[in-house]
Structure formats: structure tokens, C-alpha cells
Amino acid sequence: MESPRPDRGILTQVRADRHATDTARFAMLHDAADTLLDELAERYMVDRRETKELLGPDEALVRMVRLMPRTPAAGPLAIAFTDFPGLAVRLGRWWAEALPACGCDDCAEDPAELVETLRVQTSALIEGGLWERVRRGVGGSWFETRLIGVGLRARREGPLTPRDAREARRSGFAAAVQWAPWPRSRPAG
């Protein structure tokens, strides 16, 4: 799958395709994401923020849920619920995943496998398996990410706008950032 372009919102790649005849099969992604978000908010010390946001300049408002760990060393999670239906998932600063990536009949993406992808990637973030950095090159600056977890070892990179690169370097991403594990909530009692 091609990495999402960082200059186009969190996930504008997920769109209704004229060759997608059974998009309703992806509705289970919304239920799975809601369940996952509820579990994580209960299990970990995070702040939950729900808003309506635009994913891009030509997009409709969508429901966005963010879980922000109460320690700044741990990476945030953001999930947008698209009308397709699908999900736009962001881990940390630059790891973005479109679920489904396409949704057309030819690609035949399995919703159950997409739910597993969501869970595996989120688990890797929570356990401290996300690494990110900005690097400069001849043609400009690039983001680089690595996500490592149980059954997962992935790497992505892509270009940054000059403004995003400056802001990232100001935020400490000039050196590699290894996001910390999420802090667990204390059990009641």
C-alpha cells in the first residue's frame, strides 16, 4: 500500500469507488474501532477527545476520536470514522492507515482482516513500538516511521512540506523519537 500523503489530511484516500458494490461490509470497522477505543480508554491513562473534523479540503465532516496518553513521551492515537464506511487511523505523528485502503470489489479487502490490522498496529503503538524522525535530503525533508510489534515489522517514509518539517524539528523530531509505552490505569479498589 502506498503511504498516505501527509499534506492531504489524515486519510482522504478512502473514497467510495464506483466499482465498490458492497461497501456496507465495512461498517463492522466502525463497531470494532468504537469497542477498541472504549477498551483503551478504560485500560490506560489517556484523555479521550471527540470532535467533528474535515479530513481534507473537499471532504465532509467526520467523527474523530483521539486518545492522548497522559504522559507526553507516549504516542497519541487518532481514528476518523469515514462515511464510506471506513477508518482513517493515525498513530503518533506520521503513521497513517486507511482501512480499507481501497474498498473496491477487485481488491476484495476482508473487513475481519482490517479489524486485525487495526488491533495489531494499535497494540504496537501502546507497547512503545513506534519510532519516528525527520531527515533532510537534497530534495527536502522526509518523515520516516517504523512500527514494530507482535507479528508486525513495518517501515514507511514520505515527503514533508517545508512548514511541516520546520514544525517537526521544533517539536524534537530532528532526532529519532521512540514513543514510550502507554501508562496503565490503576485498578479500582
pLDDT in tens, 68-116: 999 999 999 999 999 889 999 999 999 999 999 988 778 889 999 999 9
DSSP type of residue 23: G
- Considering the domain architecture, whether residues 53 and 102 belong to the same structural domain is answered as yes
- Kindly tell me the number of DSSP H helices and DSSP E strands found in the chain: 3, 9
Q: Output 3 or 80, whichever has higher pLDDT.
A: 80
Is 1 within a domain? no
- Considering the domain architecture, whether residues 157 and 87 belong to the same structural domain is answered as no
Cis status, amide bond into 100, omega within 30 of 0: yes
Tell me which residue range forms the domain holding 56.
Answer: 23-126
- Considering the domain architecture, whether residues 112 and 143 belong to the same structural domain is answered as no
Task: Give dist(CA 80, CA 151) in Å, integer.
Answer: 25
> What is the reported pLDDT for 182?
98
Is 150 within a domain? yes
The DSSP H or E segment spanning 91 is: strand 86-91
Burial label for 128, CB within 10 Å (0-12, 13-18, 19+), is middle
Domain count, the chain: 2
Of the residues 111, 126, 141, which one is the last residue of a structural domain? Answer: 126
> What is the reported pLDDT for 6?
41
- Confidence check: pLDDT of 21 > 60: yes
